[in-house]
Amino acid sequence: MEFIDNTKPVSLYIHIPFCTTKCAYCAFYSLEEKAVMAEEKELFYKTILNQLDELVEDLKRPFYTIFIGGGNPGMLGFDKLYELLKTACRYGKAVECTTEINPEFLNDDIIPLFEYLTRVSVGIQSMSSEHLKTLGRNANRNTNIKALELLNKYKNKYGITFNADIMTNIPTESIEDAINDIKAVSDYNPDHISLYSLTFEEGTKLIENCVPMDEEEQRSMLISCWNTLQELGYKQYEISNFAKDGHECLHNKVYWELGQYIGLGPTAESSVGYENIISSREADSLSEYLKNPGFNSIKLTKDEAEEEYLLTTLRTVYGIDKQEYYSRFHSNFDEKYRTFIQEIDEMLYEDNKEKFSLTREGFLLLDNVILSLAMAI
């Protein structure tokens, strides 16, 4: 792939766009099982495997991190996921290698993948069968428990780590419900928990059938959940991500630090380069991807790259490293943003010689803070 900065690491994302059924809240590109013919799924596998093979031979070095997401990667089959990982790791294993999996698809057939996988991310979302039904999940509480038991067993036996996704601010959910979800999941000792606030996206079943909580209710629930996670030993290192010491997701940190990553599969995005950022996107549908797998690429302007940098880095507790900012944009952060920072409530940020970052209160008002800072660009 052109434009890669070969002095810096490159990560890989593989998008598997298949689901049994589409969750009520999901606005990502995915296709329900009934909408995909077996021949299309097989052609997709061969296409992405060939594309990956070409990429690997072009790079001829290990990926820093690998992440297989979806959709539900389990729908492709563990044998095919193994072949994708084997190809991706031809020139060496990644430092971190993750696959997402839905609870109802997790079984011992995944064990051979631990030759390459170091991490599994399971979409629990809730431990309440009632709330799972609202979300349109195919799993129930018992399915979730079985998946968590298996992952805890694999962690102890094979040395993998695992993440559990939890959704909060679900209609009719109480703060007590949300806290009980977190505690129930933490009993299985995941190394990492991703806590997402449910969003109502246009075109989803959720927005047709449910009413979101008001902003103050959402804020109270998030703060209670964040406090619970902290008490359980999970440190918040990004708005929606919490980890025990040493178990932050390296792949997602690549995104937040505006590192280099290549995405394969329908709608997958890529970003390569350092001072000059090239953003790319695969075809917008499975049919388009199968006809012409490849990238539509644009070079970001300096202002676009800087705005992207604000959007990603300020999601993390680390915030903006001022020396890194200078290396990328050849500009002094303090001189450029001082006037605009002075207009922001001091409770929302921390600012010193080394970095500018947001507090917990700042995370809750992230969009407002970024909008204020973007005025400087």
The single-letter code of the amino acid at 353 is K
The single-letter code of the amino acid at 254 is V
Spatial separation of the C-alpha atoms in residues 208 and 47, rounded to whole Å: 36
| Structure tokens given for 132 | 């799972």
* Nearest by Cα to 46 from 330, 264, 222: 264
CB atoms within 10 A of CB 37: 8
- Note the CATH number of domain 311-377: 1.10.10
* Nearest by Cα to 87 from 198, 12, 8: 12
pLDDT above 90 coverage of the chain, percent: 86
Spatial separation of the C-alpha atoms in residues 358 and 337, rounded to whole Å: 14
Q: What is the pLDDT of residues 113-164, one digit of tens each?
A: 999 999 999 999 999 999 999 999 999 999 999 999 999 999 999 999 999 9
Q: What is the pLDDT of residues 227-256, one digit of tens each?
A: 999 999 999 999 999 999 999 999 999 999
The pLDDT confidence band at residue 319, using thresholds 50, 70 and 90, is very high
Spatial separation of the C-alpha atoms in residues 163 and 115, rounded to whole Å: 18
Query: Which residues does 160 contact at the CB level (< 8 Å), separation at least 6?
Result: 114, 117, 118, 119, 120, 151, 154
Provide the angle, in degrees to the nearest 10, between the axes of the packed helices 78-88 and 38-59.
20
Q: What is the pLDDT of residues 91-119, one digit of tens each?
A: 999 999 999 999 999 999 999 999 999 99
* Main-chain dihedrals φ then ψ at residue 121, nearest 5 degrees: -115, 120
Provide the pairing of β-strand 349-351 with 355-358. antiparallel
Q: What is the pLDDT of residue 314?
A: 98
pTM: 0.96
- Report in angstroms the alpha-carbon separations of 219 from 174, 216, 354, 370: 13, 5, 30, 19
Mean pLDDT of the chain: 95
Phi-psi region of 254 (alpha: psi -120 to 50; beta: other; left: phi over 0): alpha
In the chain, domain spans: 10-253, 311-377
Superfamily grouping for domain 10-253: tm_1862 like domain (3.80.30.20)
The single-letter code of the amino acid at 20 is T
The answer to whether the CB of 194 falls within 8 A of the CB of 166 is yes
Question: Would you call 268 exposed, middle or buried from its count of C-beta atoms within 10 A (0-12, 13-18, 19+)?
Answer: buried
Provide the pairing of β-strand 235-238 with 241-243. antiparallel
Spatial separation of the C-alpha atoms in residues 225 and 240, rounded to whole Å: 11
